[in-house]
Amino acid sequence: MSMINQTIPDFSVEAFHDGEFKTISSEDVKGKWSIFLFYPADFTFVCPTELEDMANIHAELNDLGVEVYGVSTDSHFVHKAWHDTSDAIGKVKYPLLSDNVFALSRGFDVLIEEEGRALRGTFLANPEGVIKVAEIHDLGIGRSAKDMLRKVKAAQYVANNDGEVCPAAWEQGQETLTPSLDLVGKI
């Protein structure tokens, strides 16, 4: 079943953030746009490149009212150790959530049950906790934070401009479309 327009699952997990261990719940993320960035495991190869890529645009996302949550099935203790030893992960300023009981990975339908790891899943939820973007990759295929930023801007534009839609590869400032009978067959 598609996750689009589904509400994020209820959760309460331990996290490593700003040098501390914290509990973060589904209630904590509501009220702002949220990106859930699932990755297979700490201390691996593609994962740090993705988390660093997202860290590089984290401030811009925050300016748009978006928080990022990195999620793996590793413990919050492992997240801290990785943050303390990896130059790439040391740049991460967003929370790293521990899904070591698989509640989030199952709830977002990205858990590889037989391995106890998550696929590379990226989900954008609006302030009400409704998923507006869902993207899932196989383990060997890295994601682009820049493209996710574009999708965030498009989702926010659509949310704030009733009746308008963003065409393929839309970038902020470009023309949008207003679906109508007049456009049928003219694009």
Q: Known catalytic residues?
A: 47
Tell me how far the alpha carbon of residue 76 is from its chain's centroid: 18
Q: Hey, what long-range contacts does 46-51 have (CB within 8 A, 24 or more apart)?
A: 46/120, 46/139, 46/140, 46/142, 47/72, 48/86, 48/88, 48/89, 49/88, 49/142, 50/120, 50/142, 50/143, 50/145, 51/88, 51/89, 51/92
The DSSP element (H or E) to which 133 belongs, if any, is strand 131-137
How far is Cα 102 from Cα 116, in angstroms, rounded to an integer?
8
